Amino acid sequence: MARVTIELTPEKLAELLGDLSPEELKIVLHRVAERLEIREWIRLGESGLRQWLNEPDLYADDPPAR
């Protein structure tokens, strides 16, 4: 199936979401919430990894130069 990209303003998106039935809207909002949660976990993981990589290596043979 071919993918189609459509550019929407937030106002137009809100209008389209308002046309959904309550059950369809619940499904869409649940999926959006899942994606936001995944993005937040990825962001936290990336920031934690950056912080960890910036720490000195306590097990290195030579101590870090200061």
Closest by Cα among 42, 40, 18 to 28: 18
The full DSSP string for 19-45 is TS-HHHHHHHHHHHHHHHHHHHHHHHH
Give 39-60 pLDDT, tens digit per residue.
999 999 999 888 888 888 777 7
Prediction pTM value: 0.61
Residue 10 confidence (pLDDT): 95
Confidence of residue 64 (pLDDT cuts 50, 70, 90): low
Q: What is the C-alpha to C-alpha distance for residues 27 and 24, in angstroms, rounded to an integer?
A: 5
